[in-house]
Chain A
Amino acid sequence: MTELTSTTSSRRRILAPPASESTARHEIAVQINGEAIEAEVESRLLLTDFLRERLGLTGTHVGCEQGSCGACTVLLDDVPIRSCLLLAPQIDGRSIRTVEGLAERDGTPNKMQQAFCDHHGLQCGFCTPGLLITLTSLAEREVPVTLDELDHHLDSSICRCTGYMNIRNAARYALGLMPPRVEDRSGERDGP
């Protein structure tokens, strides 16, 4: 990956690679994880690829590219959306939060990330960024979350390791929904 940047202004500026095709380009100004970024993007560039290829934020994963798997979920103005179904020029003037922007500035994991560590909420880790984004947005909202709602939101990410029980335990713990005690959860574990 070659990241073409220029830092003549206080904002980081990302340039598009040399054109291999005639396509319109757009100047966008966005906030990514709190950082103001100006970029030149092609019309057809997906937000996932803008984040991964141009900004090097590879925490946002690319799975199905049709909105089904949830691996690419990011927050657009604090609302979870599929970044594979958005074109980069569409985010002009808006703010994006990715999994890289969830931890505190000093690197301390947020509550949901810590709960994933404590409750073995990930196996291969592919679905994890999307789940952390979706569940963090649930944890940050003001209206209390019900268990049904949690399950509904878990349904928005596909975990091919089928590690849902531990993910659910982690989320229940972080959301204060009848937290299972770590030493007591043998009955809810996946597998033998």
Chain B
Amino acid sequence: MKPRALDYVRARSIDHAIELLSTGADARVLAGGQSMMPAINMRLASPDVLIDIGRIDELRSIEVGSHLRIGAAVTQAEVAGHPDVLHRWPMLTAAIAQIGQPPIRNRGTVCGSLAHNDPQAELPAVAVALEAVVTSQSRRGTRSIPADEFFRGTFTTSLEDDEIVTAVDFPEPALGQGWAFQEFSQQPGDLATAGAAVVLNRREAAANRVVVFGVGVGPTRATLIEEAIRYTTDPSLDPQLVDRWGATLSPFDDAHASAHTKVQHAKQIVVRAVAEARGRMS
């Protein structure tokens, strides 16, 4: 289908975008548009105004220092193709490789995926696993929102209506950290029926993170599993524990898999991802 009649405004700066967003109209922010535009074409979304932030220079940069800062207009392909990202934040590169197909990643943005919070999307889970911090801005000022508090449920975040995401920061992974990103989908590029992002630390086991997605309301920490692996170096997980954890999940049936199948996939994926992350610890 085609979009219904709407207005399109290209924001010149962050301030301009915020001003446009605070007028009270039914406006949505457009960055890469790889989730927004399908929704608009199918008329699942039909805002009165689209505010395009994709060409705001202030949002176009990737900054690499003690942490990685990705501006809201930076595409997934630009992040995955950045040599420092591959070297220091390899989980991001691995996760982006699973998003759609190359033309999708050439337009889709990292921050847009976070703000959209599709429960089957890769990057929200990565943001939680790597303890990213989302920066948002509105007329009322700037906020830094830790990933743990940012994702609130299916397609829902803690962003207010008048706020836009301007950047996301990924801290430097701890030395010797093991990581894994795994997902199961019917074919490459499809949405995941279950996936996991795992971070294991040698020194600070309390900072271990096992985050699953695709089996519920967005990125969810598997706290049962996190606690179980805290005091052990055994790469395999106790199957009874995994079953117990699986019973806590409540995904929906959809065209790709039944809820039961998704839980089975999630259990497999978590077992594999924890083993892989263990193997990468040094």
Mark A residues whose CB is within 8 Å of B. 21-24, 26, 42-44, 46, 49, 65-67, 70, 73, 79-82, 84-87, 89-90, 92, 134, 152-153, 155-156
Contacts and interface: CB of A to CB of B under 8 A. Distances in A.
Given A21-B5, A43-B8, A46-B2, 14 more contacts: A23-B5, A24-B8, A43-B5, A44-B2, A44-B4, A44-B6, A67-B34, A67-B37, A81-B106, A85-B41, A85-B107, A87-B3, A90-B52, A155-B187
17 contacts: A24-B7, A43-B8, A44-B4, A44-B8, A65-B38, A66-B38, A66-B41, A67-B37, A70-B101, A84-B37, A84-B41, A85-B107, A86-B37, A134-B102, A134-B103, A152-B102, A152-B188
A152 B100 CA distance: 10
Interface string B32-72: 01100110011000000010101000000000000000000
A43 B9 CA distance: 8
- Interface range for B: 20 to 34
A66 B100 CA distance: 12
B85 interface: no
B10 interface: yes
A90 B101 contact: no
B8 A82 contact: no
Contact of B104 (A42, A49, A67, A89): A67
Given A24-B8, A65-B41, A81-B106, A44 B34 contact: no
A118 to B, nearest CB: 25
B1 interface: yes
A65 B106 contact: no
A22 B5 contact: yes
Interface string B2-29: 1111111110000000000000000000
A90 B104 CA distance: 16
A73 B6 CA distance: 24
Contacts of B6: 23, 43-44
A85 B102 contact: no
B25 to A, nearest CB: 12
B176 interface: no
